[in-house]
Amino acid sequence: MKVQNYIEGKWHEGEGVELELHHAITGEHLGTTSSQGIDYISIMNYAKNVGGPALRKMTFQERGRMLKALALHLIGIKEKFYALSSATGATRIDSWIDIEGGIGNLFANASLRKQFPDLPYYVDGEAAPLSKNGTFIGHHIMVPRQGVAIHINAFNFPIWGMLEKIAVNLMAGVPAIVKPSEFTCYLTELMVKEIVASNILPEGSLQLVCGLGRGIIDHVDHNDMITFTGSAKTGKMLKGLPHIIENSVPFNLEADSLNGCVLGEDAVPGTPEFDLFIKEVQKEITVKTGQKCTAVRRILVPAKLVEDVQSALSKRLEKTVIGDPSNEAVRMGALATKTQVTRVKENVSKLLAEQALVYGDLEKFEVVGADKQKGAFFSPIVMLNDDPFNKLAAHNVEAFGPVSTIMPYNSLSDAVELIKMGKGSLVTSIVTANDKLAREFVTEAACSNGRILVLNERCAKESTGHGSPMPLLTHGGPGRAGGGEEMGGKRGILHYLQRTAIQGHPQTITAITQRFQVGADQPEANPHVFRQHFEELQIGDTVFTHKHTVTEADIVNFANVSGDNFYAHMDATSLEGTIFEQRVAHGYFVLSKAAGLFVDPIKGPVLLNYGIDEARFVKPVYPGATLGVKFTVKEKTDQEKRSEEDIAKGIVRFLVDVYDETGETVALATILTMVRKLDQSS
């Protein structure tokens, strides 16, 4: 078998052989891979000229639905990936993280479409007034970068590593070229074959380079983006290439780091938190055979509890069966390759030069259902550093396998300082039931971490754990961890967009943003906006309502109905020293009355009103004030049908501008309505 590259719409074997591939458990020869002969200028142009335009024509809503369809397709054939994943040395649990965790990123990013407009680009923030009379304003839009996202991924997560990144750039409207690690690229290739066969993604939006990929970033320019996951040394070397710096190419580096797990001083033996700590650390040592960028490498323990932790952790690790994952008794598989075995051994030797081995053996350990000499097996290794402020190897050397070091600390400030000595981490956990202690630790240690997990009995049942970055939260970290950010929900998508300030008349900015801007034209709606279907409504169309003069009876009646008898509404004798001149109408009465003025009561295309955003009461309303409303179509968002029986509809946001007899605004709000479409088949 020769693992292929998918470039320019075709599968390509590459010339010659760059690497021989082997089964991590059996040592069996799986095939070869090569990227020689690939014209990187050509595949980048293909992405920019074919994939990019197709994605940019789609709105965020359409891209989100595309990702959802892809996720549903892949989850339906997930067993195909599990079958091959075992060749990487992974157990079923390890594969679940990689496969279904990766597909989960597609689902999560698809759901983010609800936070974006029904446009191919994003309108960022609110308008900025730039002139006295309001005829000149500023705004920001964010458009898809017209380049390529090049993802260079590590060997440990051949599926998750790809899907967590392309989910974001595809949602943003940017094509990708994926370069998985050559060591486990066969699993990425299988996933891409299924993606291509599904025809769900536009052609050119995803290309795959499976070999060494030498030259893949040689031709990038300022429109392109690079993400790199792997060793800090390699990542920094690539990030520092002259043409990367000269062209200001965005380069997101996520490097392996010396992550820590801290046992709180309150979590003594016999407490649920002590047991949680031991379980979490054991899991982080053994899951994926310790081959995770987030794995716990430094175990920080109050000095008086070191022996307790050492004993409890050793007992738990003794129950970890190593071997062939197809055997139901096996709980830890192998490293990805024999090359990794050599590298991990070398780094363990460096650590043992100044630390004591307290659990495990580099040579003597049992393997179930497999030949230890043929597979890439490794024993869990736990060391003790009795002087972590002076014996520094554990703060500098990472053995990328089931390897970790126990370190004593004497005070919380010591624990924080030891965490910082890792020079920047992707994640640190603290296990404590003391919220005051948790707050102190988090606020001091956050500057050195991309993520902090506070674990205790209250959240343990639903906690995703130390080692699990989540799609809606940022994944990355400062310093050694690379200084980058991945995922992060909406933040991640914005990374692939170019933010541009735009200036002009409110009417022009309305036309560009497809969001009504104050000062733009407000033609009177005819018929009433509640009589129009989703497609018929135009941004800026406005209903100018009849007027209503507020009376004291209105205030009293509203107080009786609502139960709101706040003194400013009901007691004129209590207003001394306040900002009010006389009894003031309830703000919610003003909005309620506004609704009575702007609503057209007869049945029509409006299905329901389901919320109010950005409600503000900006001027007191006293008895005698005469109120009117300008009710304006502010923004429209298409909504997909959930089933054939579902009503075809969209979401319309209306600006509610309530003004008084002086013409001044007294209240502002945005209401959200669900409006039927003309075409019920769409």
- Give me the mean pLDDT over the 55-84 stretch: 95
In this model, does residue 158 exceed pLDDT 80?
yes
Question: Quick one: pLDDT at residue 480?
Answer: 86
For residue 633, the SS3 value is: strand
Percent of the chain's residues with pLDDT above 70: 99
Could you tell me the domains of the chain?
A: 2-255+491-498 (3.40.605.10), 259-469 (3.40.309.10), 522-676 (3.10.129.10)
Question: Quick one: pLDDT at residue 682?
Answer: 45
Q: How far is CA 516 from CA 106, 122, 506, 512, in A?
A: 32, 14, 8, 10
Q: Is this model's pTM higher than 0.85 or not? A: yes
In this model, does residue 435 exceed pLDDT 90?
yes
Question: Quick one: pLDDT at residue 467?
Answer: 87
Question: Quick one: pLDDT at residue 641?
Answer: 80
DSSP H stretches of helix in 378-459: 412-420, 435-445
What would the two tokens of residue 123 be?
């309108």
- Return the DSSP state at 289: G
Percent of the chain's residues with pLDDT above 90: 81
Give first-to-last CA distance, the chain, whole Å: 46
C-beta separation of 525 from 141 below 8 A: no
Question: At CA 115, angle to CA 112 and CA 119, rounded to 5?
Answer: 100
In this model, does residue 647 exceed pLDDT 50?
yes
Lowest mean pLDDT among 329-338, 377-386, 432-441: 329-338
293 classed as catalytic: yes
In this model, does residue 231 exceed pLDDT 70?
yes
- Give me the mean pLDDT over the 173-192 stretch: 95
Residue of 185, 210, 261, 293 with catalytic role: 293
What would the two tokens of residue 55 be?
């994605």
Can you tell me the distance from the alpha carbon of 26 to that of 634, in angstroms, rounded to the nearest whole number?
A: 63
Can you tell me the distance from the alpha carbon of 246 to that of 269, in angstroms, rounded to the nearest whole number?
A: 56
Query: What b/e sequence results for 493-526 when a residue is b if at least 16 CB atoms lie within 10 Å of its CB, and e otherwise?
Result: bbbbbeeeeeebbbeebbeebebbbbbbebeebe
In this model, does residue 681 exceed pLDDT 50?
no
pLDDT tens profile 509-557: 999 999 999 999 999 999 999 999 999 999 999 999 999 999 999 999 9
Res. 54 pLDDT band, cuts 50 70 90: very high
485 classed as catalytic: no
Q: How far is CA 362 from CA 352, 391, 397, in A?
A: 11, 22, 17
Question: Quick one: pLDDT at residue 680?
Answer: 58
Can you tell me the distance from the alpha carbon of 75 to that of 636, in angstroms, rounded to the nearest whole number?
A: 32
Residue of 164, 182, 189, 254 with catalytic role: 254
